[in-house]
Every structure is written in C-alpha cells, then in structure tokens.
Amino acid sequence: MDRLVALNAKLTAIAKGGLPKPLQSLARLPLLERMVAEMAQIFLMAPKDTGSVDLLTPEQQANVVY
C-alpha cells in the first residue's frame, strides 16, 4: 500500500508539472501500469490464517478462536 501512495504522489507531480498533455500521458503510463500490477498482487494474495485469543479470568482457560 505504501508503494501505491508513492506512485500516486508521482502521478500528482506529473500532473502539476509543466509538460504538455500528450507527454504527461506518456509519462503517466508506466506509473499506471505499476499501480494496476500492485493492486492485482494485493487482490490475488493468498489469505493469511489468523485468529484471536480470548483471555478470560484466571480460573478459565484461554480459548483460541479461528
């Protein structure tokens, strides 16, 4: 996600720069491609098995919940 923020900052810098519109489009293409690839990696990422531990009073045991 941090990489997406950095890429977005670069896109914003290009938009605020003094380049003509056709050159802005060409400069943005590699950044947009990288953003799409990063989002695809996030979407296709294998989920992690996580859970929580419910801590109760000292008389009771801790229960692991999945």
Lowest mean pLDDT among 2-6, 21-25, 62-66: 62-66
Q: What is the CA radius of gyration of the chain?
A: 22
Whole-model pTM? Answer: 0.66
Cite the beta strand spans of 1-66 per DSSP E. Answer: 52-54, 63-65
Eight-state DSSP code of residue 11: H
Q: pLDDT tens across 23-59, in order?
A: 999 999 999 999 999 999 999 999 887 777 666 666 6
Yes or no: say if 54 and 65 are a contact pair by the CB < 8 Å rule.
yes
Locate the domains of the chain by residue range. 2-65
Rounded-to-integer distance, Cα 41 and Cα 36, Å: 9
